[in-house]
Amino acid sequence: MTAAPAPRVSRLLAQPEARLALIMVLVFAVMAALAPERFLTPQNATSMAFQFPEFAILALAITITMLTGGIDLSIVGIANCCAIVASLLLTRLAPGAEAGVGWLLLSYAAALAAGAAAGLFNGVLIAFGGLPPILATLGSGLIFTGLAVALTGGTAIMGFPASAAWLGNGSVLGLPVPLVVFGLLAAGLSLVLSRTGFGLKVQMFGANPLAARYAAVDIERLLLRVYVASGMLAAIAGLIIMSRANSAKADYGQSYTLLAVLIAVLGGVNPYGGYGRVVGVVLAVLTMQFLSSGLNMLQVSNFARELIWGALLILVMVINTRTWGFRRLRRRLPTAAPQGETR
């Protein structure tokens, strides 16, 4: 740790998080320079703080599954499905706009339970069914979306009590509620990953699933918990989306899957598993939001934004794979390890 100054800088930059911090500052600077009168305003800061938490929370869900070498492509389906569960409870069982805070909390609890159940479904498929996470969650995502459509007939559900707006639009101590929620979840996930046995096991499993099995790690339970956590994070994101839109619909947030994967990869999470830090994901979220809001101000269309996100995802992968080169080979070629010599 007492290296000479020059190598220390290069070693620092070898870390994806450090590189990302640099990129974030650059993006901020560029956007600020391009449109200082609109970008550098308190209004813009506030609007950004309300915008990003919903997909940032989805990115946390992707992060935890990616750490195990898996992925959860059903998060948007889960988010919408859970929002619809909550909104149906509010509008059909509860007296809609007149419903009290008790009903609201109950609907949130129902949404969280639905998210956990959906995650459990994924977890069972992956841990006990042995399905590859990509296909398991693609399939289950369709099912969740289908359920959401079936429950609503494809229309938006509206008519919530005024208190429902707080989660997406309210403020506490001058901070937007969604931002606070994201902050708490990110801090919580970071703590879980770095300070609990579960978090350590997630990373070890991601690094080498077979060795985890041989080290008597309870893999099935681990995977169940990971996908349940992912489902519950998606449910929270769904509730924030619902609150901000003041409605719930089966096809909200269609582009969020890509965005969430992009953020996780941008944040330095290794899609092959075993490495990833929440700090990186938070930096990636901020970078994306600066970029997104800058593009907004430059009146870049939604389509162009889609193009930029896709291109960015690939570009980040190209840069990051250089550090992962070794791991990639190992993972792809499980039989490549020479049996005898280890040199």
Partner 1 sequence: MTDRQPLVVMTGVTKTYAGITALDDVDFVVRAGEAVCLAGENGSGKSTLIKLLAGVEKPDRGVISLDGVPHAAMTPTAAAASGIAVIFQDFSLFPNLSVAENIAFGAELAEGARFVRGRHVRELAARTLERVGVPLDLSATVGMLPVAQKQLVAICRALASEARLIVMDEPTTALTEREVRALLAIIQRLKADGVAVIFVSHKLAEVLEVSERVVVLRNGRKVAEGPAAEFDARSLTRHMTGRDLAEVGAAPLDPSAPVLLTVERLSKAGAFADIGFTLRAGEVLGISGLLGSGRTALAKALFGLVVPETGRVTLDGREVPLGDPLRAAGAGIGYVPEDRLTEGLFLTQSILRNVGVGRIEAHGRGPFLDMAGLVEDARDWLARLRVRAPDPEAPVRSLSGGNQQRVVLARWLARAPRILILNGPSVGVDVGSKAEIHAIIADLAAHGLGVIVISDDLPELLATCHRILVMVEGRIVEDIPRMDATEEGLARRLAS
Partner 2 sequence: MSSLLGRNETLVAGVILAFCMVGALADPGFLSIPTLMDLLRAGIVLGILAVGVLVVLVSGGIDVSTTSLAIVALYVTTLFVQNVTPEMGWPLAFLLAAVVGALLGAINGLLIAGLGLPTLIVTLGTLSVFRGFLLTFVGSRLISNLPGGLRDFSRAMMIRGTNADGSFYSLPWAFAFLVGVVVLTWFLLYRTMLGRQVFAIGGSMESARRIGIPVRRVQFLVFVYVGALGGLAGIIHASLARVANPQDLLLNQQLPVLAAVVLGGARLEGGTGTLTGTLLGVSLIVLVSNSLIALGIPNTFQSIVIGFLILLGTGLPAWQARRAQRRAA
Q: Residues in the site for partner 1, rule: CB under 8 A?
A: 191, 195-197, 199-201, 203-204, 207-208, 210-218, 274-275, 326-327, 330, 334-335, 337-343
Residue 214 is a binding residue for partner 2 (CB under 8 A): no
Q: Which residue has the tokens 């909550």?
A: 86
The interface partner of residue 9, options being partner 2, partner 1, none and the CB cut-off 5 to 8 Å by kind, is none
Residues 145, 134 contacting (CB under 8 angstroms): no
Minimum distance from CB of 184 to partner 1 (Å)?
Answer: 16
Minimum distance from CB of 316 to partner 1 (Å)?
Answer: 20
Minimum distance from CB of 301 to partner 2 (Å)?
Answer: 6
317 burial (CB, 10 Å; 0-12 / 13-18 / 19+) is middle
d(CA 151, CA 92): 12
Neighbours of 24 (CB within 10 A): 21
Residue 67 or 76 having the CB closest to partner 1: 67
Residue 42 or 334 having the CB closest to partner 1: 334
Residues 268, 16 contacting (CB under 8 angstroms): yes
Residue 173 or 336 having the CB closest to partner 1: 336
Neighbours of 155 (CB within 10 A): 10
Alpha carbon 233 to its chain's center: 8
The interface partner of residue 71, options being partner 1, partner 2, none and the CB cut-off 5 to 8 Å by kind, is partner 2
3-state secondary structure of 259: helix
Site for partner 2 in 282-321 (CB under 8 A): 301, 303-311, 313-314, 317-318, 321
d(CA 210, CA 83): 37
d(CA 295, CA 27): 11
The interface partner of residue 339, options being partner 2, partner 1, none and the CB cut-off 5 to 8 Å by kind, is partner 1
Residue 150 is a binding residue for partner 2 (CB under 8 A): yes
The interface partner of residue 216, options being partner 1, partner 2, none and the CB cut-off 5 to 8 Å by kind, is partner 1
d(CA 65, CA 238): 18
d(CA 337, CA 330): 8
Residue 188 is a binding residue for partner 2 (CB under 8 A): no
Site for partner 2 in 53-92 (CB under 8 A): 71
The interface partner of residue 183, options being partner 2, partner 1, none and the CB cut-off 5 to 8 Å by kind, is none
Residue 1 is a binding residue for partner 2 (CB under 8 A): no
* Max intra-chain CA distance, the chain: 72
Neighbours of 52 (CB within 10 A): 24
Minimum distance from CB of 284 to partner 1 (Å)?
Answer: 21
Give the residues lining the site for partner 2 (CB under 8 A). 71, 125, 129-132, 134-136, 138-147, 149-150, 153-154, 255, 258, 261-262, 265, 271-272, 301, 303-311, 313-314, 317-318, 321, 325, 328, 332-333, 335-336
